[in-house]
Amino acid sequence: MAKITLHSEWLAARSTEVHFTGAQLTTTHPPSASTEPWMEAIVPGTVLATLVKNKVVPDPFYGLGNEAILDIADSGREYYTFWFFTTFQCKLSGNQHCDLNFRGVNYSADVYLNGHKMVLPKGMFRRHSLDVTDVVHSDGSNLLAVLVHPPDHPGSIPPQGGQGGDHEIGKDVATQYVQGWDWMAPIRDRNTGIWDEVSISITGPVKIIDPHLVSSFFDNYKRVYLHATTELENKSSGTAECSLSIHVTTELEGGIHSV
């Protein structure tokens, strides 16, 4: 399977400062780095990582920089609701299928690809895989815009700080240290963002999903079995006659492989 990670050429802008819809951004009005309020973005990363990179806010880890950054409790969730935008190429032939994969988004998002809207449901620790076969352009550029929403319960930080602030973040399925702890100042955007890998994967009609490998041992580890199970998805409209193979190779010294 060809997997292409989308980890460069991203732009970002605060949602309250963008006056186009996701459909317009990904069809008639694509942004560019040179037009306000758009800026170069770090993906994977958080909203704050992008703002620090562009020196819009001081680095929170130096001096009292964190005190100069508006906390989401005071600014409201819209202030840290950001658009992320990029473009990519994707040539599909015949019976090929294309998935757009997000390995981690905090906390939920609306995805627009070439004018089509799809939703990434809530939850920081879940993967998303969107079948975009019918939406991608095989010839030319594909325009992708992602509107990322912060956690539902970002909470606020009591004057005395404390472990986990007012604990509101615990109502969501998200990382909790972001409200501050005895060893850590609060993270102002609660780690909102496309925080893990974004990729597109191209497969034929049948896709391998989440194989599981388990080993069992007998005779004092002399006799060993490898058990492998996997999900398979046939996306085509016809029965797929397949041959499924598993290879196990080990690297001998010096890069020589034995199969």
Partner 1 sequence: EQLQTQNLSIPPTSRVQYTFPELFFYKPNLWWPNGMGKQSLYNVIINIDVKGYGESDSWSHHFGFRKIESNIDGATGGRLFKVNGEPIFIRGGNWILSDGLLRLSKKRYQTDIKFHADMNFNMIRCWAGGLTERPEFYHYCDYYGILVWQEFWITGDVDGRGIPVSNPNGPLDHDLFLFCARDTVKLLRNHPSLALWVGGNEQTPPDDINKALKNDLKLHPYFRHAEEKEKPVGGLS
With tokens 């006799």, the residue in question is 223
Instruction: Residue 56: count other Cβ atoms within 10 Å of its Cβ.
Output: 13
Work out how close the CB of 30 gets to partner 1 at its nearest, in angstroms, rounded to a whole number. 26
Buried b (16+ CB within 10 A) or exposed e, 126-153: eebebebbebbeeeeebbbbbbbbbbeb
For partner 1, give the closer residue by CB, 71 or 172.
172
258 within 8 A of 252, measured Cβ to Cβ: yes
Work out how close the CB of 87 gets to partner 1 at its nearest, in angstroms, rounded to a whole number. 23
Distance of CA 98 to the CA centre of its chain: 17
Work out how close the CB of 19 gets to partner 1 at its nearest, in angstroms, rounded to a whole number. 28
Q: What's the full length of the chain, in residues?
A: 259
Tokens describing residue 186: 């609060």
Work out how close the CB of 78 gets to partner 1 at its nearest, in angstroms, rounded to a whole number. 20
Tokens describing residue 95: 């019976």
For partner 1, give the closer residue by CB, 25 or 111.
111
For partner 1, give the closer residue by CB, 28 or 171.
171
Tokens describing residue 240: 């797929």
Work out how close the CB of 114 gets to partner 1 at its nearest, in angstroms, rounded to a whole number. 23
Work out how close the CB of 31 gets to partner 1 at its nearest, in angstroms, rounded to a whole number. 23
**In a 3-state reduction of DSSP, which class is residue 15?**
helix
DSSP conformational letter for 237: S
For partner 1, give the closer residue by CB, 5 or 15.
5
CA separation for the pair 169, 174 (Å, rounded): 7
For partner 1, give the closer residue by CB, 139 or 251.
251
102 within 8 A of 196, measured Cβ to Cβ: yes
For partner 1, give the closer residue by CB, 14 or 25.
14
Buried b (16+ CB within 10 A) or exposed e, 72-107: bbeeebebbbbbbbbbbebeeeeebbbbbbbbbbbb
- Tell whether omega for the bond before 58 is within 30 degrees of 0, i.e. cis: no
For partner 1, give the closer residue by CB, 28 or 138.
138
Work out how close the CB of 60 gets to partner 1 at its nearest, in angstroms, rounded to a whole number. 7
